[in-house]
Each structure stands twice: as C-alpha cells, then as structure tokens.
C-alpha cells in the first residue's frame, strides 16, 4: 500500500485579498478594536455586521476565541457559579471548560450512535439536575433534530446556547445552525471553517443578552462603535452593572476573516465533495459504521467520523498506528489519555465524574479524521483505500 504524503494539519493559504487587507491594517497601526477616526467603522465592526447578515441575526460580537464566546454567552445568559449546565458528553474540552470558567457545573447528556444528543436522556437529565440552560455542542458538525430539541426545551423552559464551532454554515431544514436558541457561538480557529489562527463570533437576536455580552467583551463605554449591536438605550443600565472582561477581536484578525466569509459557501461545497467521497468508500467496508445524516441536515464535512463497533483497545491502538505508518492521521476518542486536541469526559478532572455508559460504548470504537481543503479528490480516494486496507489488517477476522 502506497503511503499518503499529505499533511492533515495543512490548511489552504490565506486568500490574497485577506493578506492585503491584513497588510493595510498593519500599515495603519490601528490594530485595536476601537482605534478609529471620526465615524469610521472599525474592521472588527465590519466583520460583525457582515457575519450578522450571513447568519440572518440582528446582532454579532467578534471575540478573541470560540471558547471566550461561549464563556461570555453563559455569563450574559445569567449563569452563575454553582449552576448546573447541560451539555453533550461527546464534545471537546473547550465546552466543559467554558462552563467551568464561569464556576458552573457541567451535566453531561448521553449521545446516540449518530453522535448527536440523546433527547430521551436530555429529558431525564433536565428533571434530575434542575439545570435551566443547555450548551449544545454540535460536535464534529453533527446536528441533532433541532426542531424536536427546541420543542422539548420549550416545554421545559430551558435556555439554548449553541456551540457551532463545527457547524458554521450548516443548517437544519434550511435554518442555519446558531439560530435556534438564545445565541450561537462560533470559532475561527485555524481548523474551523474560517481561519484567523484564533477567534470567535457570537450572534443573537436578543438585545439585552447582546448588550451584556458586548460590555463583558471589553467595550468600555464605546459600545456605539459596534457594527451589529443593540441601540444605545439598551445599554443605559447594563453598562454600569456588567464587568469588563476584555476579549473582543482585534482589527487584524477581522481583516483576515472578511474575505474568507465571502467565500464560505464555496468552501462548504468543496468540503462536502471530499467528505462525501470518503464517506461513501467507508460505508462500503462491512466492519465500519457511519453516522446517519438525515435529509434535513445540511452539514459541513470538514472532518469525518466512523465507528468500528466492538473493537478492542489493543486493536484500536494498532489501527491508529497502522494508519499513521501509512500517512493517515486518525484520532481515537476511546483513548484513556488525552492526545493533542482529542479527549473525553474521563480526563476532564475539573468536572464531577459521571456515569455515561452509552457514550463510553460509542467512544470506544470512534475514530476521527480532519479533511483539509488542501487535499484533492484524488488524495481522498487514496486515504479511503488506506483506511479500507487498515480496517482489515488491524481488526483481523473480528473486532474483539
């Protein structure tokens, strides 16, 4: 088997238009988010206005990171130290980290074999925990039935915040991810759908919520300089009650992102070409189980997940190693120890241990792979051939 020579952490180059925009900001020397002249709109404010328009949201706040966007969203939504906050058991560390950052307690909800929130367990956990808010993590771009979810949350009077780090541009029944709850939290970290190295975006239609978030982000008394903010009168009391926790995005990163936003839908089309090719090949391997993608879901395939049910720990470790030797980088979510960006609820020791048998069973055979746009369709065919080979090599005649 010919090894794959591509690099799984190699993103596409920043577009020339974005490079030129960044140089223009650098030459101006005005990198700070409020460093403007007269009635000029800062680049950060231009980005907020453009992303609000893309999302169909009234308000947008550009943030220093997606994790920061989640943290101030929780605070702006009224979460206090000691509060229980519901979230997915299958997620990445920044999600429980954001909950812990405000002093709240994550309550994990089981996930299904399709890697989405289990609504039956959610209903149970709502009753048991007394939580009043769900921070939904659409982990690795998998959307649950958003209509069923919002109906359930409505009957229980539960506030919804959406972590859309992996679903920027995705939708359910034509409605964009991030628009179903009180707010949507997005990431522009290098491996997400827009790339500023690090960064985030927060959207909402609620003026009180967004006014609190803007004050928390470090607006001082300069909130009128925002491009997609509530009117001045909303801030009159909030501006005096809300602490400054600086974390709004600077103009340099905003300049890099604006041209990329204009190309986002084309990037999604290209990601999905690559995802669909690999997913089709993997679905033809008898030992592999692919998550079901409902017709209502318009996903963004910037990464791919698959399961080998019943695989032993030794075989899972061997499978990852065999693929690495052939140039294919996989992450295994069943690993006992966190590896790079990949971890699971057992290693988050700042959270009370929780019994999650369904999730543990699913993660024990769950593998994950990035699909950078720097890969061609021929590259994806090559990767799929390697995966087909290594599934049979590493698991032998069985999976146990």
| Sequence-ordered list of residues with C-beta below 8 angstroms from that of 214, at least 6 positions apart, any chain | 61, 223, 226, 229, 235
Tens digits of residue pLDDT in 170-203:
999 999 999 999 999 999 999 999 999 999 999 9
CA distance 358 to 131: 21
Q: What domains sit in the chain, N to C, each tagged with a CATH number?
A: 16-262 (3.40.640.10), 264-395 (3.90.1150.10)
pLDDT of residue 397: 44
Alpha helices, H only, the chain:
16-28, 43-55, 66-76, 94-101, 119-129, 146-156, 207-216, 235-241, 251-262, 264-283, 313-325, 357-363, 377-395
Say if residue 123 is exposed, middle or buried (CB neighbours under 10 Å; 0-12, 13-18, 19+).
middle
Among 308, 58, 305, 271, smallest CA distance to 168 is for: 271
Chain position carrying tokens 């909303």 = 234
pLDDT of residue 4: 98
Tens digits of residue pLDDT in 325-376:
999 999 999 988 888 888 899 999 999 999 999 999 999 999 999 999 999 9
pLDDT at 319 over 50: yes
Tens digits of residue pLDDT in 196-221:
999 999 999 999 999 999 999 999 99
pLDDT of residue 333: 95
Structure tokens at 237: 């009391």
- Hey, which residues does 62 pair with through a beta bridge? 201
CA distance 341 to 392: 27
Sheet with 366-370, strands from edge to edge, namely 303-307, 366-370, 331-332
Q: What is the mean pLDDT of the chain?
A: 96
β 183-187/200-204 pair status: antiparallel
Q: What are the φ and ψ backbone dihedral angles of 9, each rounded to 5 degrees? A: -105, 10
- The DSSP annotation for 280-338 comes to HHHHTSTT-BPPP--TTEE---SEEEEE-TT--HHHHHHHHHHHHHTT---EETT-SS-
**Count helices and strands in the chain by DSSP H and E runs:** 13, 13
**What confidence tier does 400 reach under pLDDT thresholds 50, 70, 90?**
very low
Considering only residues 323 and 38, tell me which one the structure prediction assigns the higher pLDDT.
Answer: 323
Chain position carrying tokens 């720990």 = 313
pLDDT of residue 396: 58
pLDDT of residue 38: 84
| Inter-residue contact 346 to 93 (CB < 8 Å) | no
């Amino acid at each position: 088997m010919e090894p794959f020579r591509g690099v799984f952490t190699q993103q596409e180059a920043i577009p020339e238009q974005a490079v030129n925009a960044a140089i223009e900001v650098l030459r101006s020397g005005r990198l700070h988010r409020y460093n403007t002249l007269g009635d000029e709109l800062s680049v950060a404010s231009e980005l907020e206005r453009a992303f609000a328009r893309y999302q169909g949201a009234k308000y947008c706040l550009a943030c220093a990171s997606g994790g920061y966007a989640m943290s101030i969203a929780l605070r702006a939504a009224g979460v206090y130290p000691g509060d229980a906050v519901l979230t997915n058991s299958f997620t990445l560390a920044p999600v429980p980290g954001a909950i812990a950052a405000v002093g709240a307690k994550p309550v994990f909800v089981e996930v299904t074999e399709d890697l989405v929130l289990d609504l039956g367990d959610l209903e149970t956990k709502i009753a048991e925990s007394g939580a009043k808010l769900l921070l939904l993590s659409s982990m690795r771009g998998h959307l649950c039935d958003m209509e069923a979810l919002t109906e359930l949350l409505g009957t229980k009077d539960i506030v919804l915040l959406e972590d859309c780090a992996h679903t920027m541009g995705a939708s359910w029944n034509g409605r964009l991810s991030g628009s179903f709850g009180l707010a949507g939290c997005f990431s522009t970290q290098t491996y997400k759908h827009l790339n500023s190295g690090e960064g985030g975006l927060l959207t909402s239609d609620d003026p009180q919520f967004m006014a609190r978030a803007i004050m928390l982000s470090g607006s001082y008394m300069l909130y009128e300089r925002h491009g997609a903010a509530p009117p001045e009168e909303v801030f009159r009391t909030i501006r005096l009650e809300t602490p400054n926790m600086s974390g709004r995005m600077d103009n340099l990163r905003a300049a890099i992102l604006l041209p990329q936003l204009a190309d986002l839908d084309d990037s999604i089309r290209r990601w999905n070409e690559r995802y669909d090719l690999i997913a089709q090949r993997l679905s033809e391997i008898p030992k592999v189980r692919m998550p079901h993608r409902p017709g209502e879901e318009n996903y963004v395939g910037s990464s791919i997940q698959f399961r080998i049910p019943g695989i032993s720990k030794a075989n899972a470790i061997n499978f990852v190693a065999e693929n690495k030797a052939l140039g294919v980088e996989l992450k295994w979510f069943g690993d006992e120890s966190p590896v790079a960006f990949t971890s699971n609820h057992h290693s988050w020791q700042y959270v009370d241990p929780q019994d999650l048998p369904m999730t543990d069973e699913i993660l024990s055979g769950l593998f994950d792979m990035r699909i950078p746009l720097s890969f061609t369709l021929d590259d994806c065919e090559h990767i799929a051939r390697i995966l087909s080979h290594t599934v049979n090599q590493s698991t032998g005649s069985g999976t146990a």
